Structure 1
Amino acid sequence: MKPFATLLDRLVLTPSRNGKLKLLTDYFRDTPDPDRGYGLAAIAGTLDLKSVKPAMLRELVLERMDDVLFRYSYDYVGDLAETIALVWDTSQNADVPQADDPGLGEIVDLMNSLGRTEVRSAVRDLLDRLETSSRFAFLKLVTGGLRIGVSARLARQALADFGGRDITEIETLWHGLTPPYEPLFAWLEGEAERPVLATPAIFHSVMLSTPVGDNDLQNLDPQDFVAEWKWDGIRVQLSRSGETRKLYSRSGDDISGTFPDVLERINFEGVMDGELLIGGTARSNIATRTFSDLQQRLNRKTVTGRMLEEYPAFIRAYDLLFEGEEDIRAQTFLKRRQKLEHIIENAPHDRFDLSPLVPFSSWDELETLRKAPPDPVIEGVMIKRKDSVYQAGRAKGPWFKWKRDPFNIDAVMMYAQRGHGKRSSYYSDFTFGVWADNDGGEQLVPVGKAYFGFTDAELEVLDKFVRDNTVERFGPVRAVRATPEFGFVLEVAFEGINRSNRHKSGVAMRFPRIARLRADKLPSEADRLATLMAMIDEKSG
């Protein structure tokens, strides 16, 4: 376990992408099977490991530690796993040798073999056997709290670097293999043939666009491009081969189980690129709904019949990678589009439609359309070269995205919570609110939460304000002083806003981030809820 724990420690403290890649490739090279495969799975989010509830961990640590002392320690450290790893008292089990460090594979096998009544004693024994950093890594794994700033794609890039392969080869194989990935490592080390996939409906690396810069379009001929609306859903890839049907997110995560209503209606074979949305297709004459409605369906292990009925999903297609078994990615966009049109015309009209092209003759005309789209579920335009092939990655030139300008408001900090990883000692997750009318005058109502957008220096300022101005605590959450004459004003930028019955304020923001710290403003100068409602009305209008 120690090599994996050391890797986690170093990844958290390494900010650069290249530095993280080197740490991962070194780990893959120096760690034997199956531990390196389980380590890869843990980082990439594919590890199947029996979970342990935080309440049980608290009970275990309180068997050996005073309750008040633990609460003070937890408040100071800010992370449950780190606190328990540091304060765990092994003196009561001095006979257990800590030097006998179990491997990651041994721990995974043990945890997954335990019956319900065996978990408690097994976890206690492991905490006694592990040294501090390994104990921390173990606790992070079994509580599902592993956040180290490494994406699944970065882990796959490290695999590609380790084996001297292109990442598209890794991503093509990825969903056909399972932890601990021993055939994959054997192939990457030249000791075996390329692994045989367990499923033919595999994920293929997606083609990405680049944001339009100030002068990017200036020297480009509009006649060489087509435009489409940029829909506010999630990018997906739909794949069917024979009776195998899969739905993947843009990062390659298998989300098939969450959207059976889409999968069961596929009547074609191939690989399609598109946007997953909620509501009705253009051909069904039912309005497409907002991203907040789509969130009702995301990240669910089981989907009820009522959920399927109230939040029906469909795919708005905009590209075709494979027509049946034929790879057509090397054909031009217009040729692929022609084949896609034929498929969508014959697909079930309630689950599939085609993203329409947006006619334009000049960049100025397209900018006008971008700023006033015809549907509130549109967040800008996509611009694609007519002769572009479908290539993995983000090559600048073939595809651009031109998003609408972000919304901005001034809001007041209301609550704060500690972050994770290297931010676990800082209050870095902030809930903010705006003023709303009630019977007794104006009061703050929360409208969003943000945990990025500020610099490290600004984080120091925010954290100090929270510590100096806490007025109430709710578990890990601190309420801060916020009155019309005293508080902390934040300029918040966000990509979209919609009505929401799930939030007390009645609004839900899309991708909020802290744009500026407004020490020059009093809380009384912050925006009103009516301003946000007007934004929604204007967008819908």
Structure 2
Amino acid sequence: MDEFARLLDALLYTRSRTAKLALIAGFFRSTPHPDAGWALAALTGTLNLKAVQPSLLKALMAERVDPTLFALSHDFVGDMAETISLLWPEPAGTRPPPPGLDAVVQRLQSLSRKEAPAVVAGLMDALDAAGRYALIKLATGALRIGVSARLAKTGFAQGFGLDVEDVEELWHGLSPPFAPLFAWAQGQGPRPTPGDVPVFRPFMLASPLEEPVDLADHVAEWKWDGIRVQIVHAGAQTRLFSRTGDDISASFPDVTLDQPLALDGELLVRGAGQGDGTLAAGSFNALQQRLGRKAPTAKLLAEAPAFIRVYDLLAHAGKDLRPLPWYQRRARLEAVMPELDPARFDLSPLVPAADWGELAGIRAAARDAAIEGLMLKRRDAPYVAGRRAGLWFKWKRDALTADCVIMYAQRGHGKRSSLYSDFTFGCWTDDGQLLPVGKAYSGFTDAELALLDKFVRTHTTARFGPVREVEKSFVVEVAFDSIHASTRHKSGLAMRFPRIARLRPDKPAAEADRIATLLRLCA
């Protein structure tokens, strides 16, 4: 457990991706299994320990520390795990030897709700502050240390000289603590085989378009605003994978296959009407109502039926088609499409243009609710994992902007735990009310963040737990990809990917945008 705690501490304060990879690789090389396997599960978000909830930790602290001291400390530190780990009183006498990571996980996995308080308290007593911090992060499943699942897998692969794409393809046939994977990585066993099950194939990604490309060598296609997915059927099973490789099949049981295929496409929900040879796509806001619901109701399935707009054919009848050039895969995909359920699958159409000027005009005119921009793909490109220069490009439509007033602020996490970096902003109603229209925690420089943090601290008008309400006087220009009507929000709208584009301390708050103006932008 001590080694895992030191790894988390180092990762938390390391900003460089290269340095993080080196830390992860070194940890896996030096840490024996199964501790290393449980650590990989924790870093990739595949370790599920449901018996320990934040409420339990708070109750344990209430028995040991003055509630006012804890509240003030939590407000200052900003992170509950760090606050508890620092304030937890040292046990009387000699501290027992710290348990290993495997012992901790095994104990937590078998934990009942009744025995949880005593067991967790005993583990906390056996660990130092760093160990307690790691224990809390591990037990609650909220690491938040700036390491994605992909980065953790890349670090693991780097540690043993493996190809991370090989690890990704094996991943869904394995389970924690990944004994066959570590045996193979260490040269002590054969390469694991997932068997006759649907496996995830790492996505091919696009680079931002920086200059025009030759349309004789490239094909244009709409970039749809949904969820990039891969649907795979093998061994009488169908699985739907997100871009990060998560299995989201349970959330979308209405999308399935009945033949051995692997398709790359965009998950969307049906909208009103019918497109030209394609299903009408609803907004991302409509799709969002279904995300994360592992058992959608019959009513939701009927109101927001899902479908996949297919981009590419990765495998067919057991044959891997990824090495083929795009134009050959497209021809095979067009031949396969008539065999699929037309209510659940349609083909992403190509966007014809005589020249670059015409294509630019088509892009500029597109403000459809489900269109995010254009994709440019080389006609001879194979389907390769990751972002390979010169093969695929994304040309996103220009962002929308609005001038908004900061209303509330909250501290961030990790390296931002001492700064107010999460901002709720609003716009005016016609009768002079300021209503929240979105939240943002990115887009600003470090210098601008320091200015915003100072404003929050010197212009606070009320506190609600970790949230500060501020004087309604600071205007920011907010950029967002799209905006949609929403009955879930008091303002009646929801922004897609809002970020702070520019600070406008020069602009009077009364001149910020009106909600009616934003509603007119709704698709």
- 1:39-79, CA deviations, whole angstroms, 9 ceiling, x for partnerless residues? 11111111121242222211111111112111111111111
Match of 2:240 in 1: 247
8 Å CA contact 2:183, 2:189 repeated in 1: yes
Whether 2:186 is the aligned partner of 1:189: answer yes
Distance 1:324 1:427 in 2: 54
Across the two proteins, how many residue pairs are aligned to each other? 521
Whether 2:83 is the aligned partner of 1:79: answer no
Match of 1:526 in 2: 512
Match of 1:13 in 2: 13
Match of 1:274 in 2: 265
Match of 2:480 in 1: 494
- Residue 303 of structure 1: CA displacement? 2.0
Distance 2:231 2:363 in 1: 28
Match of 1:344 in 2: 337
Match of 1:325 in 2: 318
- Say which of 401, 407, 412 aligns to 1:408: 401
- SS of 2:280's partner is coil
- Say which of 156, 159, 165 aligns to 2:156: 159
- SS of 2:387's partner is coil
Distance 1:421 1:98 in 2: 29
8 Å CA contact 1:223, 1:361 repeated in 2: no
Match of 1:470 in 2: 460
Match of 1:27 in 2: 27
- SS of 1:49's partner is coil
- Say which of 191, 196, 200 aligns to 1:203: 200
Distance 1:131 1:229 in 2: 54
Match of 1:70 in 2: 70
Distance 1:211 1:420 in 2: 29
Match of 2:118 in 1: 121
- SS of 1:514's partner is strand
8 Å CA contact 2:51, 2:116 repeated in 1: no
Whether 2:495 is the aligned partner of 1:509: answer yes
- Residue 122 of structure 1: CA displacement? 0.8
8 Å CA contact 1:330, 1:390 repeated in 2: yes
8 Å CA contact 2:461, 2:471 repeated in 1: yes
Q: Please, what TM-score do these two structures have when normalized by structure 1?
A: 0.93
Distance 1:433 1:208 in 2: 35
- SS of 1:473's partner is strand
Whether 2:106 is the aligned partner of 1:133: answer no
- SS of 2:204's partner is coil
- 1:336-385, CA deviations, whole angstroms, 9 ceiling, x for partnerless residues? 11111122212111111100111111111111111112732111111112
8 Å CA contact 1:212, 1:401 repeated in 2: yes
- 1:481-505, CA deviations, whole angstroms, 9 ceiling, x for partnerless residues? 11xxxx1111111111111111111
- 1:215-256, CA deviations, whole angstroms, 9 ceiling, x for partnerless residues? x21xx4212221111110011011111212111111211111
Return the letter of the residue paired with 2:32. Answer: P
- SS of 1:515's partner is strand
- Residue 35 of structure 1: CA displacement? 0.9
Distance 2:397 2:73 in 1: 46
Distance 1:98 1:229 in 2: 62
- SS of 1:195's partner is coil
- SS of 2:97's partner is coil
8 Å CA contact 2:51, 2:112 repeated in 1: no
Match of 1:316 in 2: 309
8 Å CA contact 2:220, 2:350 repeated in 1: yes
Distance 2:275 2:173 in 1: 34
8 Å CA contact 1:318, 1:354 repeated in 2: yes
Percent of matched pairs sharing the same residue: 54
Return the letter of the residue paired with 2:513. Answer: D
- SS of 1:517's partner is strand
8 Å CA contact 2:310, 2:345 repeated in 1: yes
Q: Which structure 1 residue ranges, 5 or more long, are not aligned?
A: none
Distance 2:5 2:419 in 1: 22
- Residue 284 of structure 1: CA displacement? 9.0
Distance 2:25 2:292 in 1: 30
Distance 2:36 2:95 in 1: 22
Match of 1:47 in 2: 47
Return the letter of the residue paired with 1:155. Answer: A
Match of 1:237 in 2: 230
More moved, 164-173 vs 298-307: 298-307
Match of 1:459 in 2: 449
Equivalent runs, 1:346-365 vs 2, <5 Å: 346-365=339-358
- SS of 1:330's partner is coil
Distance 1:226 1:196 in 2: 36
Distance 1:224 1:343 in 2: 25
Distance 2:392 2:278 in 1: 30
Distance 1:496 1:199 in 2: 41
8 Å CA contact 1:268, 1:347 repeated in 2: no
Runs of 4+ in structure 1 over 4 Å off: 280-286
8 Å CA contact 2:41, 2:177 repeated in 1: yes
Distance 1:394 1:144 in 2: 29
8 Å CA contact 1:268, 1:343 repeated in 2: no
8 Å CA contact 1:82, 1:136 repeated in 2: yes
- Residue 436 of structure 1: CA displacement? 1.1
8 Å CA contact 1:283, 1:349 repeated in 2: no
Match of 1:304 in 2: 297
- Say which of 426, 434, 459 aligns to 1:444: 434
Match of 1:396 in 2: 389
Match of 2:176 in 1: 179
- Residue 189 of structure 1: CA displacement? 1.3
Q: Which structure 2 residue ranges, 5 or more long, are not aligned?
A: none
Match of 2:166 in 1: 169
Return the letter of the residue paired with 1:369. Answer: I
Distance 1:526 1:420 in 2: 29
8 Å CA contact 1:428, 1:459 repeated in 2: yes
Distance 1:57 1:199 in 2: 43
- SS of 1:353's partner is strand
Distance 2:276 2:171 in 1: 35
Return the letter of the residue paired with 1:76. Answer: F
- SS of 1:287's partner is strand
